[in-house]
Structures are given as C-alpha cells and as structure tokens.
C-alpha cells in the first residue's frame, strides 16, 4: 500500500463550528423560540447542549484535547439586547468568559454576529424585511465588538443570508414562513446592507480585525446533462441560490428578478469569504413543482446519503466551491466555515471528513488561499426545523442526560488537526473503504 500524506500550510485553522441557539439552551427571547412553541420544529431546543449553563467548558476541553486550534461560535442578539433600549452586561460578560476560555485553551475564536435568530422585538418590526434593521444591527455589532475585541479579531458578520432568506421567505421552514419572493429579495438586500455596516463598524473599532460573511454555496448539476430543460432549470436554481449576494459584495449591485438594487456600500467589504459547503444537488426539469420554478432538486439513488437523506457525501463539490470563490474574489482568503454530515452511528462521517479534507488539499495545491476548516459540528445540537432528528456532532449528545458520546470521528479529526494534514495511515484505520480513491496505486 502506498504511504502518503496531504499536508496543509503552517498556521492552518482546524476547528469546529457552532451557533448560539443550537448549543446554548434556554434561549426564550428570539423568533426561533416562538417558532418552536408554535410547533414548527421537530422537538424543542430546551437546554440544547447547555452551554449557557456552563457546559461550554467541558466541550471546549474536548476540542482542545483533540488538537483543535480554532472554534467558530455565535453570540445571541436577544440575550445581549433583550429590548431595544436595554443591554444585558451580564450576557456580554458570559461571552467574554467563553472567549477567554477558548484563548486559555489555545483556541482561536471566530465570532458570528448573526446566525439565523432575531430578537423577538426585532421580529415584531419585520426583522430584515425593511432597511430599519441596518442601523439597529450596526449598533448591536458595535456593542459586541467593543466588549469582545480583547479576545477576538476574526468576525463573521452574517451566516448564510441565502438560507435565512429562502427558509423564511420562500419556504415555511424558518420563521416567519411567509413565502413571498419579493420580500425574500428585500431581506437579502438588507442582509447585504447590514453586512456592509457591520464590516465598517468592526474595522472602525478594531483596525486589525478580519471580517467576512459565511456563504452557503450549493453546487448543482443537471440530472441529464444532454437535456436543455434540465440545464435551464439547473441554471435558474443555481443562480438564484448562489450568486445574488456574493456578486453584490463584489460589485455593489444586487441583481434580482425584480431588477437591480444598488448597494454601493457593500462593495469590497470582506477580508475573507466563509464557505459553508455540505452537498451537491442534482436538478431535473419537472412540471410537478411549479413552486420551485419546475426545477426538482434531489440526490441520486446510489448516493452516499446521510441518515435522514438531508445531505450527501459529494466531496468534489468542496473543490468546486473553492474554485468558484477564487474566480469571483481573486486572492481573497477563504475559510471553510462549515462542512459536515448528519450520521448518528458515524458510519459515513470518517470518509466524509477524509474525502472533503482531501478535496480542500487539492485546492491548496492550486495555491488557492484556504486558511482554515471548521467542521460542523463539535457536538450534536438543535438543528433548526429538523430539531433533534439530525446528528452532526463529532461527539454525540444524549439530550435527556446531557452525556456526550465520543464517536470514532473524534479520533480521526484529532489526528488530522495534530498532523496538520491527512495521511494514508489515518484513512487505512478510519475509512479503509475510500483508501483506493484517495491513494490509488
């Protein structure tokens, strides 16, 4: 058997990503809490991973002991600003101790300022539907950066604007479940304005900061490449989901089905791009889905599917995502801010990890400026409308007892982080089924 390794540049960030509402527990003052109470989710977040109760300490210990040198977490706006005219200094202090806790463990924090949830008071005002949100978000960002900059200089302004807008305004999976394309576009434009305002505020307060946004990039392939209709619906879906916001940040203009929206203040507002990559979609023309503009997205029958079929192991898609980013934003540093698969018994995760890291390494070998990788996630957590039905953690979680379960992927990822690379020995030990693919004779 060949013995080989795929190494990464010195200083590469290896970590995991989490989001406040998904891990903290007892978040009762935001739109997701209300969404849960109204019965739109599969179970309720409840105590989640009980980070707000202090269990972040043991989870950060786990991350540090297994060689991770970075962690991406988010702060919960509704805790820090429970009402428009009220700041909760204790909540900020709690976040300060969490970040200090990361630093003490040798872990570099990346803080996300908006990860899907909105305070109830903001939701009452229509959240991101109107421009009124922009100065409010900027004020919140200033407060947070001022309080946390001692420990953090790597900021993610907004998480997955496309998923936020599509979930809440094209489908009814996310609050407010409105299904209104025009509103979805306004929301996306306001997220771009909010991102730009946040970017400038961060730099005004912390000149050495590096700020960017995390983008959910979704490669898509036509089901039958020879079919013009499949190619057409593929292009419509692909452009709709992937392109609008990133090109607004590159050009200052957002093209929507309703015309062009000028957002000149957004142009060039990023020091890195965060890429959240999960799976490649196949798209077929299908008259039965008018709501999806006749493009049905699915995974092929023989695909390497996750437990609930929510995502699939298509590692080349990560390479394609990085290539797309380098073409849109030449020379911009890239960070994989999320990547993972839901699998309770861990039978797919080791090969998913190894194959994706291999694809990222291919990108590094084209001198693409990839600076870090954050696996989703450190421990199983509350998966939005899918609730507790999906298990994305390196560590499992027993929701009743709060016990953590060490999955074999923990040891594979630890080996990768410590080696700053992937070796043939690791693949042989943790996922021999893909050995031939990664190390062909």
Contact with ligand FCB (CB under 6 A) among 24, 138, 304, 338: 338
- The region of 36-44, 79-87, 156-164, 322-330 touching ligand FCB under the rule CB under 6 A is 156-164
Please name the residues in contact with 100: beta carbons below 8 A apart, sequence gap of 6 or more: 151
Phi, psi of 256 (to 5 degrees): -125, 165
- The region of 158-166, 222-230, 299-307, 430-438 touching ligand FCB under the rule CB under 6 A is 158-166
The number of C-alpha atoms within 13 Å of 322 and in the hemisphere containing its C-beta is 29
Nearer to ligand FCB, 32 or 430 (CB): 32
Residue 19 interacts with ligand FCB (CB under 6 A)?
yes
Nearer to ligand FCB, 156 or 325 (CB): 156
DSSP 347-396: SSHHHHHHHHHHHHHHHHTTT--EEEEEES-SB----GGGGGG----SEE
Residue 406: CB minimum distance to ligand FCB, A = 21
Beta bridge partners of 262: 253
Look at residue 210 and give its three-state secondary structure.
strand
- The region of 155-163, 191-199, 235-243, 423-431 touching ligand FCB under the rule CB under 6 A is 155-163
Contact with ligand FCB (CB under 6 A) among 32, 319, 384, 430: 384
Q: If residue 275 lies in a helix (H) or strand (E), which one and from where to where? A: strand 273-276
Residue 163: CB minimum distance to ligand FCB, A = 5
Give CA–CA dist 344/391, Å, rounded: 5
The count of residues interacting with ligand FCB (CB under 6 A) is 12
- The region of 90-98, 144-152, 157-165, 401-409 touching ligand FCB under the rule CB under 6 A is 157-165
Distances (CA, A) of 175 to 30, 31, 127, 172, 292: 10, 7, 10, 7, 19
Nearer to ligand FCB, 19 or 438 (CB): 19
Phi, psi of 81 (to 5 degrees): -130, 80
Nearer to ligand FCB, 176 or 274 (CB): 274
Nearer to ligand FCB, 339 or 423 (CB): 339
Terminal-residue alpha carbon distance, the chain: 7
Contact with ligand FCB (CB under 6 A) among 51, 383, 385, 423: 383
**Strand 259-262 versus strand 154-159 pairing type:** unpaired
Residues 204-263 that bind ligand FCB (CB under 6 A): 216
Site for ligand FCB, rule CB under 6 A: 19, 22, 159-160, 163, 216, 276, 338, 376, 383-384, 392
């Amino acid at each position: 058997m060949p013995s080989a390794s795929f190494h990464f540049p010195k200083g590469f960030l290896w970590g995991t990503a989490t989001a406040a509402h998904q891990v903290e527990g007892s978040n009762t003052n935001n739109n997701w809490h209300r969404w849960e109470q109204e019965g739109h989710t599969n179970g309720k977040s409840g105590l989640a991973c009980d980070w707000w109760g202090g269990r972040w300490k043991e989870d950060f210990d786990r991350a540090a002991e297994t060689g991770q040198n970075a962690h991406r977490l988010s702060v919960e706006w509704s805790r820090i600003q429970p009402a428009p005219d009220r700041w909760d200094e204790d909540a900020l202090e709690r976040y300060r101790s969490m970040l200090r806790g990361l630093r003490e463990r040798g872990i570099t924090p990346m803080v996300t300022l908006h990860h899907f949830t909105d305070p109830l008071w903001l939701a009452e005002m229509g959240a991101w539907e109107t421009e009124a949100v922009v100065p409010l978000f900027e004020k919140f960002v200033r407060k947070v950066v001022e309080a946390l900059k001692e420990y953090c200089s790597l900021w993610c302004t907004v998480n997955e604007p496309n998923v936020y807008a599509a979930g809440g305004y094209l489908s009814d999976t996310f609050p407010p479940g409105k299904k209104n394309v025009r509103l979805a576009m306004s929301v996306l434009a306001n997220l771009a304005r909010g991102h730009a305002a946040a970017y400038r505020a961060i730099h005004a307060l912390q000149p050495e900061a590096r700020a960017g946004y995390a983008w959910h990039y979704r490669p898509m392939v036509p089901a039958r490449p020879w079919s013009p209709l499949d190619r057409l619906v593929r292009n419509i879906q692909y452009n709709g989901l992937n392109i609008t916001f990133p090109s607004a940040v590159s050009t200052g203009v957002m093209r929507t089905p309703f015309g062009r929206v000028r957002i000149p203040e957004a142009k060039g507002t990023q020091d890195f791009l965060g890429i959240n990559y999960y799976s490649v979609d196949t798209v077929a023309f299908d008259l039965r889905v008018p709501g999806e503009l006749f493009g049905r997205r699915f995974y092929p029958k023989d695909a390497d599917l996750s437990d609930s079929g929510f995502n699939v192991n298509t590692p080349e898609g990560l390479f394609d995502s990085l290539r797309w980013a380098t073409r849109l934003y030449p020379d911009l540093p890239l960070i994989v801010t999320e990547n993972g698969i839901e699998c309770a018994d861990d039978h797919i995760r080791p090969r998913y990890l190894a194959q994706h890291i291999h694809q990222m390494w291919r990108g590094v070998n084209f001198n693409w400026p990839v600076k870090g990788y954050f696996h989703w996630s450190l421990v199983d957590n509350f998966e939005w409308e899918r609730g507790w039905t999906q298990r994305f953690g390196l560590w499992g979680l027993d929701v009743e007892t709060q016990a953590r379960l060490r999955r074999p992927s923990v040891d594979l990822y630890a080996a990768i982080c410590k080696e700053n690379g992937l070796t043939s020995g690791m693949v042989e030990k943790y996922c021999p089924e893909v050995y031939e693919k990664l190390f062909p004779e």
